[in-house]
């Protein structure tokens, strides 16, 4: 069953990224233990790429596996944002992979809107992402993505 909670974050009036913040009902930020590993699961990551543009998780993968999403209007401090996104994934418990991307359309129904507004997004999945989970995104969407699967020993 798809459980998609949506949180909104804003950009402060100063020229710095507002970090992803915990909202009521959202997963907590839990530091990922050092004995866990995170691998990059983006298309082309085997060639050493850690950021890509133009690919998005398929509709089937998303409908089957998205457990949480947050949208915000910041495009700064990507390394801190992906760390926070991954920590929320780890804090969710069932989450296995996290994706941070920019220019992601908000879903229909987002705060009562028709959706489609391009925002930054942290998307959490209860399945591992791999290159086969991705499809081409519409031009100008899903840019500067960073994704990772979180593997922790039992």
Q: What is the pLDDT of residue 46?
A: 58
Q: What is the structure's pLDDT at 68?
A: 93
Longest Cα separation, the chain: 43
More confident site: 70 or 2: 70
**Contacts of range 138-143, beta carbons closer than 8 Å, 24 or more positions apart:** 139/54, 140/103, 141/54, 141/56, 141/103, 141/104, 141/105, 142/53, 142/54, 142/55, 142/56, 142/101, 142/102, 142/103, 142/104, 143/53, 143/54, 143/101, 143/102, 143/103
**What pTM value is reported for the model?**
0.79
Domain boundaries, the chain: 35-151
**Which has more confidence, 24 or 41?**
41
Distances (CA, A) of 44 to 1, 32, 52, 101: 30, 25, 8, 16
Name the least confident of 16-20, 26-30, 69-73, 145-149. Answer: 16-20
Please check the confidence at residue 9 and state whether its pLDDT lies above 60: no
Instruction: Using CA atoms of 136, 140, 144, 145 in order, give the dihedral in degrees to the nearest 10.
Output: -40
CA–CA distance, 55 with 145 (Å, rounded to integer): 8
Share of the chain above pLDDT 90, in %: 58
């Amino acid at each position: 069953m798809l459980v998609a909670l949506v949180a909104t974050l804003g950009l402060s009036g100063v020229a710095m990224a507002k970090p992803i913040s915990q909202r009521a009902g959202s997963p907590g930020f839990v530091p990922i233990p050092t004995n866990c590993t995170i691998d990059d699961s983006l298309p082309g990551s085997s060639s050493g790429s850690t950021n890509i543009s133009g690919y998005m998780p398929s509709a089937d993968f998303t409908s089957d596996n998205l457990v949480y999403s947050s949208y915000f209007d910041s495009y700064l401090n990507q390394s801190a944002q992906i760390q926070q996104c991954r920590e929320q994934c780890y804090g969710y418990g069932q989450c296995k992979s996290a994706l941070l991307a920019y220019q992601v359309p908000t879903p229909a129904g987002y705060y009562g809107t028709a959706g489609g507004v391009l925002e930054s997004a942290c998307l959490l999945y209860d399945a591992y992402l791999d290159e086969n989970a991705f499809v081409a995104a519409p031009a100008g969407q899903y840019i500067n993505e960073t994704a990772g699967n979180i593997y922790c020993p039992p």
